[in-house]
Structure 1
Amino acid sequence: MTVKHDKDKQQFTLDIQGEEARVDYQLRDGTMYLTYSEVPYHLRGKGYGKQLVEQTFEQLTKEGYRAKAVCSYIRAVARRSEKWSNIIE
């Protein structure tokens, strides 16, 4: 499973067993404000949310963006690893 970046919809998506998990963002002044994350209800608690968020971080890093975590879950994932401290505020 690999995250996909849909710039038109301003979201990163991850296909999980035919269903879509997503991170929504708003782009302002070259910074991505990561506003929302969602995993389908019946797939929660299995680590997919963390996988989605970390792959989102990796993808936005590859694309040269910096980001601010607005969503509390995204912020929690970012704080758990020093790896993201220079990229995610």
Structure 2
Amino acid sequence: MTEALAIRNNLEAQRFEATIDGQLAVCDYQRQGHHLVLPHTLVPPSLQGRGIAAQLVQAALDWARTEGLKVRPVCSYVAAYMRRRPETQDLLAA
């Protein structure tokens, strides 16, 4: 079972972030009109494999849905995450 993270939307830095064991994990975004571009997700190597990136990306997707935004997954991790989850397909920008 993956631990639930305290994820914040840092609007000033344009990223979803969580601090785990004193280390910062992030999912960067750029809001461009009616689109949310997700260019980069970073989880420190010592924290990888714990589902942290997935939780960060899901938080970003949930926010996009709430804000009525379409998502452009530039980050390869985000693109793969969305491909594996049919329930996110309606968020993809045309």
- TM-score, normalization by structure 2: 0.82
Gaps of 5+ in 1: none
Q: Percent identity?
A: 29
Alignment root-mean-square deviation, CA = 1.5
Give, as a single letter, the amino acid of the residue that structure 1 aligns with 2:52: Y
Give, as a single letter, the amino acid of the residue that structure 2 aligns with 1:63: E
Q: Secondary structure at the match of 2:54?
A: helix
1:37 to partner: Cα distance: 0.2
Q: Give the total of aligned pairs.
A: 89
Q: For the Cα contact (< 8 Å) 2:39–2:73, is it kept in 1?
A: yes
Q: For the Cα contact (< 8 Å) 2:82–2:89, is it kept in 1?
A: yes
Change (3 A) 1:61 1:42: same
Q: Confirm or deny that 1:33 pairs with 2:58.
A: no
- TM-score, normalization by structure 1: 0.85
The 2-side partners of 1:59 and 1:17 are apart by: 25
* Shift >3 Å, 4+ stretches: none
